[in-house]
Structure 1
Amino acid sequence: MLNAVQGVVSKVESAVSHVHHHIEVEATNIFTMSDEKIIDLVYGTHVHAAEKSFDEDSLFVVVENVLMRSSQIIDKIVQGVHVHVDNIEEKHSKGNLSVPLCTLKAINNELSCKAPNEETAHKTTLAILNKLSNYTWEAKAVLALAAFAFEFGDFWLIAHHYHSDPLAKQLGLLKRVPGLIKTSELQKHRQTILELSSLIKLTMRVIAIFDEFEKLSISYDLKYIPGLSIALDHMPLYVYWAILTIAACATKLGILISSEPDRAYDLSPYSQKISFIFNQLTMQLNVCRRQLAEAEAYRRLCKLILTPTEIMEIFKALVFYKFDVVKPLIDGSTNRTVNIDVLRRKNVFMFFAGLDITEEDISILKPVYDLVSKKEKSYTIVWIPIVEQWTDELKKKYEILRTKMPWYSLQIFSPLAGIRFIKEHWQYKGKPMLVVTTPQGKVENLNALHLIRVWGLKAFPFDRKAEEIISKERHWIGSVVNNVHPTIETWVKEEKYIFFYGGKDNDFIQTFTKNVTALQSDPFIKGAKINIELFCVGKTAKGGEDHGILSRFWTGIESLFFTKDHKEVDPVTQEIQKLLSYKNESGWAVLSKGSAVVTTGHGSAILKVIEDFEQWKEVIKVKGFEVAFKEFHTKVTHTIRHCCRLDVPTLGGKAPDRMKCPECTRTMETYISYKCCHIDGPLSAHH
C-alpha cells in the first residue's frame, strides 16, 4: 500500500515538474523572443575591452575540412555513396596553428549530455558565450563550431574505420558507434542523420559569411560600404543563432548515439531559422560586394577623369564592373550589335536617360544624329539607359524605346558601375542629359541638351567653346518662341517690337491685352511708324491655356538659364534670370525688337509703363521707343517692389550654389522647392 502511494506521489511530482518545465520554456520561447531581447542578453556576455585574438581563419579552415570529410563519410555509410575520402580536395591551414584545446574542451562540456529542448539550448548558448566573453564575435562562432567538429569528426572517423581497424573498433564501442551504424539503425535513422549533417553544414556556411564580413571591415573604410555597418550591428544576434543551432545539433547527435535514439527532438525550427539567417546574410553580403564594387568603380572613374586618355576607357569604367561583355552596343541604324570599338577616337555624346523619356526628348537629338551620321563623322551618340533594377517589363520597354533611336544604345541589363559617379559628379537627377566628351574622354559639357533645346545645330558641337560664344547671344527670345506661332518668325525678321506676356492672373492678361492693343492704335505710335505686336504665351485663341506651348516656353527659358555662366552676370543673363523669376507670378512681360530683348519685367511694372505712356512718349522723339520704354520701366521698378523668387529645377547642369538677385543684385536666400504639375495624368496604384 505504501509503495502504491509512493508511486502515485512520484507520478504527481513528475507531472508537476513537467508542467513547471513546460511553463518555463513557454516563458522564454527562443523562437518568439524579440531580436532586441536576444541582443541584450548576448551583449551581457561580452567584454569588448579585453578581446582575445587568435588565428581563427586557420582554425576555421581545419573545421571546414573536418566537417566536409565527415559529410562524405556520412554519405558513404548512410547512403552507400562510394567516395574515396583520401581524394577529397581540402583547404590548407597554417602548419603552426595553435589550437586552444582547453577552451574547446570547456565548450564541449557545455554541449554534452543536455536535455533536448529549446530552453536548454538557449541556456547552453549563453553559457558558451560567457566562457568566450573575451573573444571577437566571429571567433566565438568558430570556436563553438570547432568544439562540435571535434566530437562529430571523431565519431565519424571511428565509424569509417570501425570494421577495418582494431583500435577504431574498441574506441567505437566506447563511443557507441555500432549502435548507430548497424544496418537496421541506419535504415531507421537515415533521414535524421542526413538532416543533422545538412544543418551543421548550413551553419558552417553562415559562419563562413561572418568571416567575409570580418575581412571587409578590416580591409575597407565602412563609409565606402554602408551595408557592412548594418551587418556588423547584427553580428551578435547572428552569432547567438549559430551557436544555438550548434548546441541543438550536439544534443541531437547525443540522442542518436544514446540508448534512446528514438527520443523526440525536432531540429526543423532551428533549420528554418538558420536558413532564414543564411539568406539574410547572403543578401547583405551581396549588397556589400556591390557597394564595394561601386566604390572601386567610383575611385577608378575619379582617377581616369583627372588623367583622361581614351574615351573607351572612360566608357568601360562608367558602364562595366568587369568588361567581359561581347558587343554591348546596338546600332540603331542597322539594328545590329557592335563592340565599343566603334567609339574609339570619337567625340561621344553620352545620352543618359531612364525609360520615361518622351518622343520629344528623342526628337531633340535626331537633327544632331542626322548631322553627325552624314557630315561630322568624328562625332557619335550613345544612349546609356539609367535603370536601378531591371525587370522583364522594363526590358520590353527598353526594346520599344531603342527602336525609336537611330544612334547607338547600350544593352546591358544590370546596374551601371559608375552610377554613383554619374549622379554625384555629373549631377544626373533622373532627367535626360547629354554629356559631351572628347576622344580623350575629357568632358566638354555636362548637359548639352540645354543648348540643343534652345539653339539647335547652331550651337554644334555643343562644347565649352561653342557655349561661350552662343551664351553672349543677345537675340535669345526668338530661339525660345521659334515654331510656337507661325507669325512670330515673320515679326522677328521684320524687326517689329513684340510683347510676349503671360501669367497666372486672367484679369492681368485681359488688361494687358487691352492696353497694348490701345498702344498699337495710338496716333503717336502710328505716326512714328513703330510697329508693335503682342503674343500671349500659353493662351489659345478661345482664351484657354495651351499647356504644351507653356511647357516648351519655360523649358526653353530654363535651358537658357543653364547655358549661362552665373559667376559674372551680364545684361542678357540678368534678363533671363528675371524672366525665370516671374514664372509663377500673376503676370510678366518681355519686350523685344525682333529677337533682341529690350527689357523683361513683372506684369504690374510693364503694365504701369504702358498705362503711363503719356508721361514718356516725348522721350521717344529724342531717344527712340526702345530706350524710352526701358528708361521709364527702370523708374517704375523703383516704386513697385515685389519678392523675386527663382525656382530652378535640379537637372544635370550648372545650377549655381549662390545667386544674386537679378533686380537689386543682393545675394538671394536659398530654399528647396518641390513641385508636381500632374501633366501625365493620375499614376497607377503600384506607383
Structure 2
Amino acid sequence: MFYKLIYIYNISILLTVPVPPLITSAMNLLGSDPFSRSPSYLDEDILIRKLLLTHDPDGRHLDSELLLRLTEHIMHCATTSGVPVTSLVSGLHFGAVAMNESNAEELSFLEPLGQAIYEISIQLLCNCSSEGTLHMRTMALFDMLGKYNWDEKLALVLAASVTSYGKFRLLMQLNPRHPLAASIAMLKRLPNDLRALKPRFKALSQLVKTMIDVSKCIIEFESLPLSHVELDQEISVAKSYIYVAAYWVIRSAFTCSSQITDLTPMKPEQVHVLSLQHSYSTVSATWELSSLVYRLSWICSCLRRQVDVCHQQLEKKIWEKLSSLFQEVPGDNQEVLDTLFASTNDLPLKDCSSQAKVGVSELNNKVVMLLISKPELLPIENLLLLVQQTYDHPLNKKNKGSYEIVWVPIPSTSTWTDAEVRSFKFFSNSLPWYSIRLPWLLSSEVVNYVKQKWNYTGEPLMAVLDSKGMVSNSNAIDMVMIWGARAYPFSASGEKVLWEEENWTLQLMIGEIDTLLASWVEEGRNICIYGSENQEWIQEFNSKLTEIKSAGVQLEMVYVGKRNLDEHVRNILASIPKENHAGSISLMKIHFFWLRLESMRRSKLRLGKSVDTDHILKEVSALLDFTDKGWAIIGKGSSTDIVKLQGKEPVQCLNLFLSSQWGENVANLGFLDAIRGAPEPILLPEPCGHSNVIPYAEGLIEGTAICEKCKHHMKKYVVFE
C-alpha cells in the first residue's frame, strides 16, 4: 500500500487510495516516446502499411473543414452552459458539407452524411474491453472509412464522437429543469451531481480539442496544391505523420465514446466525492484521457512543424515557378493558369452565370483578363459599366469565345472575414464571368506576386494574359471602360494604338454608354451635351435651346450633371422637360459618362501624357475639373469640329445667336459655325489668308470653316505627309 501525488494538467489530486495497475502503466507511457514500439501491432512501419491497405478513396468530396467547424461549435456548447445560439449555426448548412454527387452514375451508392455519421457512432459506442480489441476496432473503422480522404475520415469520426457527447451534455444541462430531460435521465440512471466528474470532463474536453487540432493540421495539408510543384521529401515525411496521427485520433475517439458510455449506468454512490470506487474509476479514466492528450499533442506538434515546412516550400516553389513562366514563352496558357489557381481540385473556377464548376482547360488558347479586386468588387456604377462594356457591348458577339474574364478577389488582410465571404458569394452568383471558386485557398505567394509585379494595392485592376499565358497588360481596366470589347485583345501596345486613332469627338465622349446617343452620333446629328448644378442657369439655357429647336434647327440636348453626382443633380434631372430632351439619359448612364472620362484621364496619364501636350487629356481634365459653372459642348457626329462654352458664355452666345440673322448664318455656315460666330459677326463671303493645320478626321472636309482670327471663310485643303 502506497500513496502518490499526481499532477494532471495543473490539477493536483491527492490520492489516499492504492494506485491501480492501470495508472502505473499509464505513467510509464507518459514517460516514454509516444512512438515507442512495444506492442507489435503498434510498430509504426507495420501500422502505416496496414492503414494504407484500408485507404481506397473513390473520388467523393466532403467539406471536412466546415464539418469540423460544426464539431467545434457543438463541443463549445457542450462544455459551456448557457451558450447563446450564434450565427455560426445558421451559416453551417449541411448542404455545403454533403457529398459531391456530381458523378452520380459512378457513385450512386453514396449514403447521406447523417447516415454515415450514424453508422460511425454505432461503431464507436461498441464496448472495447481490451487493448487488442481497441486496436482491431480502430482498424475496422478505417476499413469502413476507406473510401474517404484522410481529412474526411477524421472529420466524420469527430462529428460522430462529439455528437454522442453533445447529446449527453445537453441532457445533463436540461436536467432537472426540463421535465422530459429529467425523466430520460432517471430512466438512464444518469448521475445528478457531476462535480466529482469535473476532472474527467476536463480531460475529455482537452482530448477532443487536441484531436480537433490534429485534424486541422491534416485538413490544411490536404488543401495544399502539392501536385503543382515537387516536394517529394517533405511530402513523404508529412504523410507518415498523417497516417499515424489519423490512427491515434480515431483510436482516441473510441476511448472518448467509452468514457461517455461508462458514465450513463453509474449509481449515485459511484460519483460521490468521497467514494473510494469513485477515486479508482475517475482517476483511472482521467489518467487514460490525459495520456492520450500527451501523445496526440506530441504528434500534433511534429505534424504542425512538417506542414509548415511543406507550406513554406510550396509557396517558395510557386513564386519561382510563376517568375519563370512569365519570363519564357509557353506553348499555351494552361501551366500559367494552373499555377495561378493552384488547387487540390481539378475545377478551381466556376461559371458565375450557371454556377458550374470548371477547370482552366475552358480558358485554353483564350485571352484571359484577371479582374483583381477586394471581395466587395466595385461600386455598383463601375461594375455595371464594366458589364456593359464587355458582356453587353455590341462587339461582344464578334469576340465571343476569344477572351474570358476571371474574377480574383483578394481580401484586405490575410484572413477572410464573414462580411467578405458574403460579398464574394453574392457577386460570384451574379456576374456574367468566371470566378475563382474558393478564393480563400489562393496561394499567399500568388497574392504577393500580384501585389509586387502587377502593383495591386487594393484598387481594382485587370491583368491581361494573352493566349500563350504571357502578361500583355498589367492593368487594362481603364482601357475596357473606355472602348469595351473594341479594345480586344487588350494589350498595352494596343492601348497606345487606340489613342493614336482617337480625336476629341462626341463619339469618344459618348462611346457606347447609350444606344440612342450612339445612333445619333452615327447619323451625324447636332448634339449638345451640357452640365451644371445651377437650376437657374439650366432653365435659361434650356429655354434658349428650345427656342432654336422650335424654329426648325435639328439639335439634340443631353444633360449630364456634374462629376460628383448627388441628390441635387437627381432632382434637376427629374425637373427637365422630357419633350425637349428626347435623348435624356438615366442617372446611371450619367455615372457611366463621368466614369469613362475618369478612365480616359488615368489612361493618358499612365502613358506619360500631359495637359500641355495632349489635346484630349486637356479637354477631359477641363470637364472633370469644372466646379459649379455651367458648360456646354456642341458637336456633330464623329467630327472633331466642336464648340465648347462655359460659365456665362453659353447663354450669352445663344442670346447673340438669336438676336442676329442666325437663320441665314445656319443656312450658309451650318449650325456649329453659326454658333461659333455669334459673338462676332462673320464677314462674308471673301476667304482670308490665314492658315491652320489640324489632324484629319472623317467628316471634317464637309461644310465650311471659319477663321478664328478674322471670322472670314477658310478654304480647306488635304495635305499628305
Which TM-score bucket, shorter chain as reference?
0.3 to 0.5
Query: If the length of structure 2 is used for normalisation, what is the TM-score?
Result: 0.42
